């Protein structure tokens, strides 16, 4: 009996070893993955008229209204080597773009798998760009990103942008300081500390929350400057009730929205001081929202903005350390910020009719009785 006891204690250990050794059953070697770092969603190009019979033309027209042209940006690992040229056509290209036309995102990925030698892998997806023509259609924007929210490989930190141009043109940008246009766009979207005209990065997880709550929102808009650079100084505005793009805020209006939402982390404000041009550099800001009700019980909102910083330059100015000069510069800077906020408010309230600032939600939490 003394010899049988050790065998009874060893059996659970052997079973445990068998369980832990099954952890690599779904392993895929890194050189067998097709790393997708960017996805662009456009409408397909219109087909040439006059081809096929009348029924086929009607079918093609019906299908094209529901079709997407999805552009995938895929990494070429050999091109990322430091001893080769970048993605500017000089050799050693680090990526390639492949377009697929389908009526759903899932089937477009399946078709992509039929063309790639490596299985598509989305865990390193950096940015999704949706064209204006798709986003302006009711609920189409939500339908296009639905797949990326459900797919287990996707990260909820993936950036989402909208472009007035075609997404494929954005992915054909060749910045001199970055080999991958998708990585360039991701880094560009983070430059909020350097400019008041860039919205905070638009993460797909945050966009999903807006869509579920039917809230109006704004995300980064990207434009193709030329072959060497893009810009993200616009804001794409979405109506929460229809889940569709209603328009864009220009760079100055985007800055106004950043001030009203308290998202300014840095940047400069140009102002005029005694007919001289000056530049104020923002170091920090704070925001406080106040609501009052008039005789008609309608709410009015006041944004209290406090900005701290330093004067970077003033052209041909007198002594700017004297109190009268400081007061005049403060008034000039205040006037510029108020002007930006007023431009944004007028456009959102009177042209787009969208509560992007979340004023209704503020009333719901702070003045719930007003809803009753």
Identify whether residues 197 and 346 lie together within a single domain.
no
Name the residue with higher pLDDT: 48 or 115. Answer: 115
Mark whether 133 and 216 lie in a shared domain.
Answer: yes
Residue 350's CATH number: 3.30.300.210
13 occurs within a structural domain = no
Residue 85 reports pLDDT greater than 70: no
What's the rounded mean pLDDT across residues 169-182?
A: 88
Residue 22 within a domain: no
Q: Per-residue pLDDT averaged across 131-141, rounded?
A: 92
Q: HEC string of the chain? A: CCCHHHHHHHHHHHHHHHHHCCCCCCCCCHHHEEEEEEEEEECCCCCCCCCCCHHHHHHHHHHHCCCEEEEEEEECHHHHCCCCCCCCCCCCCCEEEEEEEECCHHHHHHHHHCCCCCEEECCCCCEEEEEHHHHCCCCHHHHHHHHHHHCCCCCCCCEEEEECCCHHHHHCCCCCCCCCHHHHHHHHCCHHHCCCCCCCCCEHHHHHHHHHHCCCEEEEEEEEEECCEEEEEEEEEEECCCCEEEEEECHHHHHHHHHHHCCCCCCEEEEEECCEEEEEEEEEEEEEEEEEECCCCCEEEEEEEEEEEEEEEECCCCCCCCHHHHHHHHHHHHHHHHHHHHHHHHHHHHHHCCCCCCHHHHHHHHCHHHHC
The pTM (predicted TM-score) of the whole model is: 0.83
Same domain, 235 and 274: no
Same domain as 313, residue 216: no
**Residue 125: inside a domain, yes or no?**
yes
Domain range for 326:
257-371
- Tokens 């929202």 belong to which residue? 289
Domain end, chosen from 189, 220, 249, is at 249
Q: Note the pLDDT of residue 300.
A: 92
Indicate whether 273 and 232 sit together in one domain. Answer: no
pLDDT (tens digit per residue) in 233-278: 999 999 988 889 999 999 999 999 999 999 999 999 999 888 888 8
Q: Tell me, yes or no, whether 265 and 233 share the same domain.
A: no
Q: pLDDT-derived band of residue 54, with 50, 70 and 90 as boundaries? A: very low
User: Could you tell me if residue 10 is inside a domain?
Assistant: no
Cβ(257)–Cβ(199) under 8 Å?
Answer: yes
Q: Are residues 98 and 162 in the same domain?
A: yes
CB atoms within 10 A of CB 257: 25
Residue 74 has pLDDT above 70, yes or no: yes
Angle of helix 140-150 relative to helix 204-213, nearest 10 degrees? 120
Answer yes or no: do 216 and 316 share one domain: no
Using one digit for the tens of pLDDT, what is the confidence trace for 290-320? 999 988 888 999 999 999 999 888 877 667 7
The pLDDT of residue 42 is above 90? yes
CA–CA distance, 159 with 130 (Å, rounded to integer): 11
* Mean per-residue pLDDT, 357-372: 85
Instruction: Please tell me the total count of domains within the chain.
Output: 2
Residues 297 and 161 in one domain: no
| Of the residues 221, 249, 277, the one at which a domain ends | 249
- Tokens matching residue 240: 């929460």
| 2 domain-assigned | no
107 assigned to some structural domain: yes
In this structure, is residue 290 part of a structural domain? yes
Choose the final residue of a domain: 213, 232, 249. Answer: 249
Per the model's pLDDT, the better-predicted residue between 165 and 10 turns out to be 165
Q: What is the pLDDT, as a whole number, of residue 287?
A: 93
**Residue 295 and residue 147 share a domain:** no
Same domain, 226 and 300: no
Average pLDDT, the chain: 83
Q: Does 337 lie in the same domain as 363?
A: yes
């Amino acid at each position: 009996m003394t010899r049988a006891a050790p065998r009874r204690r060893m059996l659970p250990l052997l079973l445990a070893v068998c369980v832990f050794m099954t952890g690599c059953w779904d392993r895929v070697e890194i050189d067998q993955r097709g790393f997708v770092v960017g996805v662009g969603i456009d409408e397909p190009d219109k087909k040439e008229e006059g081809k096929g019979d009348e029924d086929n033309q009607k079918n093609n027209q019906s299908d094209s209204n529901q079709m997407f042209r999805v552009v995938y940006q895929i990494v070429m690992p050999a091109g990322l080597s430091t001893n080769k040229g970048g993605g500017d056509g000089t050799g050693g290209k680090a990526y390639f773009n492949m377009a697929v036309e389908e009526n759903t995102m899932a089937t477009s990925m399946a078709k992509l798998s039929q063309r790639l030698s490596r299985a598509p892998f989305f865990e390193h997806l950096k940015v999704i760009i949706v064209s204006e023509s798709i986003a302006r259609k009711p609920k189409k924007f939500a339908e296009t990103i639905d797949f990326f929210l459900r797919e287990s490989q996707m990260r909820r930190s993936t950036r989402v942008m909208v472009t007035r141009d075609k997404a494929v043109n954005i992915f054909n940008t060749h910045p001199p300081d970055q080999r991958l246009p998708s990585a360039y766009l991701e880094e560009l979207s983070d430059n909020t500390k350097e400019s008041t005209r860039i919205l905070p990065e638009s993460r797909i997880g945050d966009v999903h929350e807006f869509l579920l709550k039917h809230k109006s929102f704004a995300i980064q808009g990207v434009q193709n400057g030329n072959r060497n650079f893009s810009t993200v100084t616009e804001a794409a505005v979405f109506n929460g009730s229809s889940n569709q793009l209603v328009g864009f805020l220009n760079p100055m209006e985007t800055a106004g929205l950043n001030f009203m939402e308290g998202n300014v982390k840095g940047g400069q404000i140009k102002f005029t001081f005694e007919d001289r041009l000056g530049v104020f550099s923002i170091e920090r800001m704070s925001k406080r929202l106040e609501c009052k009700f008039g005789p008609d019980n309608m709410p009015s909102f006041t944004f209290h903005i406090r900005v701290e910083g330093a004067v970077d330059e003033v052209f041909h100015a007198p002594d700017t350390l004297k109190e009268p000069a400081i007061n005049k510069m403060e008034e000039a800077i205040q006037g510029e910020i108020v002007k930006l906020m007023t431009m944004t408010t007028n456009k959102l309230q009177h042209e787009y009719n969208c509560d992007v600032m979340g004023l209704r939600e503020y009333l719901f939490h702070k003045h719930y009785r007003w809803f009753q």
